[in-house]
Structure 1
Amino acid sequence: MSDGNLPVPPATILCVDDEANILAALRRLFRPAGYKVLLGNSGAEGLQLLEAENGEVDVVISDMRMPEMDGARFLAQVRARWPKAARILLTGYADIESTVAAINQGEIYRYIAKPWNDSEVMLTVKDVLERKALEREKARLEELTRRQNEELKSLNASLEEKVQARTQELALANEKLKTSFMTSIRVFANLIELREGRMAGHSRRVADLSRKTAKQMNLSPRDSQDVFLAGLLHDIGKIGLPDHLLAKNELQMTPEERGLWRKHPLKGEQALMALEDLRGAARLIRSHHERVDGQGYPAGEMEGAIPLGARILAVANDYDGLIQGTLNGKKLNEQAALEFIDKSRGRRYDPAVVDAFLVVCGGIKEPPPVGLPLLPAELEPGMVLARDFLSRDGILLLAADYVLDENLIRQIREYEKSEFGGRITLHIHPPKIVDHE
């Protein structure tokens, strides 16, 4: 039996007749169709050709009336020795008894009367070859089924033992994965921090603060774990950002740079979505720059749409950024950072999360600083900020007591146009009154 994947050789047809012109006509008929045609001028020669081909002949076409061995006897021997070869009888006689005898003795597939119609002959041969192809395919499938059944019997005999062994292997492998999972995440977080350069320990600190806050808010163990993992990996989307962009704060960025920067939460989510155990953390990473007032990014979600874990992550992330000086280039002490967080409740941060975070950090509330509210168009060089100037997503752009100059005022006005499309307000220290007396 040939492999079903190997090319099928052309069909072989043996034509036997004692008239040379008949054989020539059959050869002219079959050759253009791509068949391999063998010709024999007698029954004896036909048998010799079959032996030479080791019986690998698909169709045998024999004339009924031939000297020494007629078609009935010849096809009967073909049937006995090579039963797989299909047999067709050509007859020019109306003798029904001879035809019936040939059918009975040789079990021919069909008989064709002389003179024949070429189309009828070709159609007959095509039909018999298609039937043989179906029989071969049936035999192949039956053999395949038999072998598969034997394999199944062998497998079933030891199936229980194999399942137990495999289960033990999987249990050991799963235990190893659990043991190394958190270590791998921490190593990955360290690699992210190496990319950012100046933020050593940032991810670990954010993760620890986030987990403590989640516990303070009575989140489930699974949700607390997602918050912790998101804290370790929240900056993963920044890996693809250019170095010069990582060194800037948002106020210094062009609109194009700001648009690229604000995609990093989405890229972080996409980087982790393929990992089933990190899908919950990935959703938190996506939303950790959203604001409860809907002014955050990347989607501008409001409080109810932002996952609680992401709201927790936002507070812990900004708190550590304030202390490290990565939000505006100026480091704040812990008290000042907590005051910043507390002042941003209800805008950037969920008030309930702020309350829990202050408990975790032991923070206290302080009244906001005073100042004269001015629009960017009203600013003048030499004015001093009375309050921190925040971006719409709560990032510290300029700290209180910053002295404005012409270049910075121009940047603030451009920022108002590109970022808000409307008005923003800055709080300025009132000018000092000089006594001329």
Structure 2
Amino acid sequence: MGNSVPAEKSGGGSNNRKTGLFRVSPYMVIPSRVGGFSLYLRQGESFVLYAEKGQLFTEEHKDRLAELDVDHLYVKSEDYPFYTEYLHENLLNILDDSSIPVRDRARAWNDATVSLAKAAYDRNLPQSLDKERFTRIRKLINNSLKFLARDDALKELSRFIAESNEQFEHGINVMVLTVSVLMTFIEDDSDLLVSVGIGAMLHDIGKLELPEELFWRREGTLSQTEIDLIRSHPALGVGVCSGMPLPQETLQCILFHHEQMDGTGYPGGMTESLLPAYARALILCNEYDNYIRGGPGRKKMTPFEALTRIKSRRSAHDQDMLKRLIAVLSKADLA
């Protein structure tokens, strides 16, 4: 070990911004060749190189970390994209490894998922959603199904999915909730779950086609033209994804996510008979997550307040799906 980096001004959280180091769990480094990132240990007031990029990481390395009672390793910020790439390549093995605490598996899942979702919603990228990124999102959701079926996984994931107004974080949470609700009655159709999961994660992708400030304005300050523009984002989302090999279920999730069972939603004013069960689950989970996140002129609600508001509009939502959402939240101690 060597090549120390001063830690005297490092901040808290998962990223020590002053030193440019991200905190990662030692459980995440499975025996393999460490890819394009080096690993650092914190020793007193310094970060010390533990494993250099390209080095073979063995069981002995893991055992030694356990003996030293190391809680965290660190990766330089410039190497973090290589670390998330490593997570994507090894995520299924990590999520299926019962020797890794559920909380650490949840953190790995969150890190891998955020890196993809954030890029998909990045207005600064010339093509935020391309075929390669879409393929990786599909693979990630497929590899996540078994883990998302665990009640304790949902509880741990809630610690990492921030209750903010970032579109990509909202997309992640709506995906987790929607897939969790669907898994209460769909057990042997992973293709459907993956298709709906993709649609849930990308349901707001059409907002990238509109001025960002529209979505930060209080509703009472918007003109009818601006309201109509906002209500066009589901259809615009389908257009954004037109070049992707998307199944019908994914496209319907993007298009229908603001519809309501009683026909009061948009963009089509569709009613119960025209909305598939998976779309009804997504519509409900989208509204619930919007309530607990708040927004311009809207305070964040507690889960109880959000569910109470939804219950007060019985005609707008599928009551069976609502019962299933409440059951999912209760099992994970989130309601």
- TM-score, with length taken from structure 1: 0.39
Q: Which has the higher contact order (CA 8 A, sep 6+)?
A: 2
Larger radius of gyration: 1
- TM-score, with length taken from structure 2: 0.49
